[in-house]
Structure 1
């Protein structure tokens, strides 16, 4: 009965497999048919996983073959794989059913030659280097703390976030972003225009001119980074007068912009670290320098105080320094009265000598003689003046008589009158001069009387004279034999005889009588 009923699902002749059966069959077919093979191609994208395994591509002009080198196999490779390198790899072809992919497990690698892109890149690098665009002399020094930082990158990627985050952590600065495409056909032109645009900003304008530029992009294949190898970008960087940091790709990625820039950063984050210092480190350094300065000042003061103390111990005491001067002062004070008395005595003797010279044959007699001579000259002048005037008048009269015109006669008469006036004035002048000279002689006489030795004699002194003059010391008085002593008054003079005197020795008294013991 059941056999007569039709099957609701029609039966087919194709075999039915599970997914795992198909994946296993494909894997076995690949491994059995190919086994261990050698493949030649150019290395493309390279990725190193956290586990240490290495994943990369081998490609030609049309297709790409995924390759894997496990962590334990990397040490067996004769060369380190680099993007763009043309190599020959050896390994086993296998499939990965979980993703329906097949790849080549590479356990040996050797260089086959430079790839097309790498060869073109090297040729361009050599040409630009020959022009001097990569010379070290063109490199500019990065500012220590730029006020404005210009960033040339894509505004949508993680690169700009990493840069801003690191700047905010280290030392916040004003950042200007110039958005560009970091890969594709328009990438090179946009990057070059951004660099030239930042350079063209005027200082002090509405948009602040950056003190530092950062050109940044994340990692990628050589094709993705090819825009930063273009000649237009390299020349824009070489012509930029603002210090520039290139941060394109990862640490292993090298582009031509890295050679032309002033500084190359392995990553965009590292570029931000190069751009600004750490503010906390600067504050700590300033604080440390301040503490060191304070310690240095204290140490210097302490050292100088100790030095002063050492020097003060080597100095003599104040009393010892002043003792010689104090002794000299005391000696000078003791000798001063005697010196004053000796000086007074010498002055008194000199005055006495001057008084002796101005005695009757001295200044008084000379003044009297000069006065008499002056009187004689005055009398002679007074007698001669009328005769001279008379002779002059007679001569004028004779000359006047010879001349007949009245005007000339009147002039001569006036001249004679003036001459008479002159004679009168001259007589007045002579009389005044004589009077002045007499008054001077009288004044000198009074001065002589006040300064003469006679006034000194009135105070109890005396003048001693011998035949040669005044005697000033006892030895001269003894040697003179006869001297004259003058006292106050006109006739108070005493004659005396001098000579050496001898003292009669006193008789010694006889010793006292002590008696006789026997």
Structure 2
């Protein structure tokens, strides 16, 4: 066996071989015109140079435009644009790869991928999959969040970190490939798998789904433009957030999703609120509610006290008339006593004069005079009593008029106070009714959401639920024993059935073919993806 050092083949270093290849390629392809589609373009570099790729159906070549040529270009470079580039082919010794140094570039039409993407977008938009009316509202505070992404990338770490930082929630991760041929099928299966989970149990259905991926070229993100992914997202009963690529990247999944986030971190922020801010808001609202209640109670107490002070007491209303009546009664008794005393003195004087005269004549004259005086006294007494009674009656009428006027005034004050109390009571009643109406509307929306997310909605789309004789749901064929009594629940009712032990040689019963269309449910094996 001969030694390799004894051969006549010349020995090159890596740099010498790379330099020889570079000179050979540049001499052979000093000027070429190349037609292809721009891919993986992210704008000019900080140095002013622009790096991208030119590709067709079978190959791809790296390309670069130096800063001086880039500023003189007439066409604006963009992803998916088909162009005709003029330049020379050279190599990059640092990576042992070849590339095209573009000197001039002209547009040649929209690329094949962009044309296919636009055609698919118009078709799905015509079916109404992108309408805002069919988009669901995201839950304010989900209990479980489902994430469809690669388990090894930085995206899932960013999402988990952001959720734990804002409001820790239970997160279910469905691992998928985020690029490549199987990307679309795995993402669609993940969406359908999350929707197939039960609402209760150790592994319950998430309240919101986040589909996330980092940035990349149009080819890298193409799996999220596939029709199978778009239709699976449109049929999802769980609200869906798409966070594909960077803020400038748009896929068909972004149009059909219930909410589009510019980045995976922004998707986590839109999924959950900030716990500290919620606690602060609730505490502030509680303090404001307590302060408002105390102010309302104090104002009502002050108004009640004012009304009580404004209402006069019954004793105070009749105190002055009663005092006048007592004074008039005392004056009447004093005048009556004086009149009796005066008459008594007059009678005593007459009796003395009568005694000093002859008994018969004087007694006759005295008797006549006495009778006259008695009549005058009687008339005087009657007149005095009538005058006193008239005075008292006049004073009584004045007292009654004053009492009625005072009572009418107080009645008007009481009526005004009662009207104000009724107005305040009506305002309070309207406020309570408004709060009850808001609570009732919220309960109705929650009931409607419960009805929409129930498993009977799944049965109405053609699925069936199989239970054993004890009413427990059966999820695998291995759980069914031959001869067991089964209960099959459809959307319109229940049907009993008996399980049979069917062998591979036996001919299964014929079943009428079911129509399949773009919106038909797809049966996939998803258990291996957990």
Question: What does residue 259 of structure 1 align with?
Answer: 255
Equivalent residue number for residue 200 of structure 2: 204
Structure 2: distance between partners of 1:10 and 1:232: 62
C-alpha deviation, 1:40, in angstroms: 1.6
Number of positions where the alignment pairs a residue of Structure 1 with one of Structure 2? 337
CA deviation after TM superposition for structure 1 residue 146, in Å: 0.8
Matched, 1:133 2:129: yes
Secondary structure of the 2:95 match is: coil
**Counterparts of 2:161 and 2:73, CA distance in 1:** 39
CA contact (8 A) 2:142 2:207 kept: yes
Deviations 1:235-288 (A, max 9, x none): 111111211011223333322111111011222222111111122333344455
Structure 2 partner of 1:186 = 182
Radius of gyration: which is bigger? Answer: 1
Alignment check: 8 A CA contact 2:51 2:64 kept: yes
**Residues 211 and 11 (structure 1), Cα distance of their counterparts in 2 relative to 1, 3 Å cut:** closer
CA contact (8 A) 1:246 1:271 kept: yes
The aligned counterpart of 2:218 is 222
CA distance in 2, matches of 1:10, 1:155: 54
Does the aligned pair in 2 maintain the 1:465–1:471 contact within 8 Å? Answer: no
Q: What's the counterpart of residue 45 of structure 1?
A: 40
The question of 1:337 aligning with 2:330 is answered: yes
- CA–CA distance in 2 between the matches of 1:101 and 1:293? 71
Distance 1:476 1:252 in 2: 119
Identify unmatched segments of 5+ residues in structure 2: 338-369, 384-530
Offset of residue 128 of structure 1: 0.9
Does structure 1 retain, via aligned residues, the 8 Å contact 2:45–2:51?
no
- Aligned-pair CA distance for 1:304: 6.9
Deviation at 1:149, TM superposition (A): 0.9
Output aligned runs, 1:91-102, within 5 Å: 91-102=87-98
Structure 2 vs 1, CA of residues 203 and 23 (structure 1 numbering), >3 Å: closer, same or farther?
closer
Structure 1 partner of 2:447:
none
CA 476–120 in structure 1, closer or farther in 2 if over 3 Å, else same: closer
Pair 260,11 (structure 1): closer, same or farther in 2 beyond 3 Å = closer
Query: Is the alpha carbon distance of 1:473 and 1:202 closer, same or farther for their aligned partners in structure 2, counting shifts above 3 Å?
Result: farther
Distance 1:45 1:122 in 2: 18
Q: What residue number does 2:267 align with? A: 271
Matches within 5 A, 1:307-386: 330-338=323-331
Structure 1 unaligned residues grouped into runs of 5+:
1-8, 345-463, 478-518
Check 1:471–1:139 CA distance in 2 against 1; reply closer, same or farther (3 A cut). same
Measured in 1, the distance between the counterparts of 2:204 and 2:251 equals 29
Task: Answer yes or no: is the 8 Å Cα contact 1:151–1:213 preserved in 2.
Answer: yes
Give the Cα–Cα distance (whole angstroms) in 1 for the partners of residues 336 and 123 of structure 2. Answer: 111
Report how far residue 27 of structure 1 moved: 3.7
Shift of 1:109: 3.9
Cα distance, 1:124 vs structure 2: 1.4
Task: Give, in whole Å, the separation in 1 of the partners of 2:151 and 2:248.
Answer: 24
Shift of 1:176: 1.6
Q: Which residue of 2 is the match for residue 105 of structure 1?
A: 101
Q: Secondary structure at the match of 2:40?
A: strand
Decide whether aligned partners of structure 1 residues 323 and 23 sit closer, same or farther in structure 2, where only a CA change above 3 A counts.
same
RMSD: 4.5
**Equivalent in the alignment of 1:473:** 379
Provide the C-alpha distance between the structure 1 equivalents of 2:170 and 2:207, rounded to a whole number of angstroms.
10
The whole-number CA distance in structure 1 between the counterparts of 2:299 and 2:215 is 62
Q: Cα 1:207–1:23, aligned 2, differ >3 Å: closer, same or farther?
A: closer
Distance of aligned partners of 1:195 and 1:291 in 2 relative to their CA distance in 1, 3 Å threshold: same
Aligned partners of 2:270 and 2:67: how far apart in 1?
A: 33
Match of 1:147 in 2: 143
Is the Cα–Cα contact under 8 Å of residues 36 and 90 in structure 1 kept in the other structure?
yes
Match of 1:158 among 154, 161, 164: 154
CA distance in 2, matches of 1:92, 1:175: 52
Take 2:156 and 2:6, find their aligned partners in 1: how far apart are those partners?
A: 62
2-side partners of 1:180 and 1:63: how far apart? 27
Partner Cα separation in structure 1 for residue 68 and residue 280 of structure 2: 46
What TM-score comes out, normalization by structure 1 length? 0.54
Counterparts of 1:259 and 1:113 in 2: how far apart (Å)? 25
Matches of 2:193 and 2:285, distance apart in 1: 41
Q: Distance in 1 between matches of 2:283 and 2:196?
A: 40
**1-structure distance, mates of 2:90, 2:333:** 136
CA contact (8 A) 2:26 2:90 kept: yes
Q: Secondary structure at the match of 1:473?
A: helix
Deviation per residue, 1:300-348 (Å, 9 max, x gap): 69x979x99xx99xx99x9xxx99987666444423434688999xxxx
* Equivalent of residue 250 in structure 1, options 246, 252, 255: 246
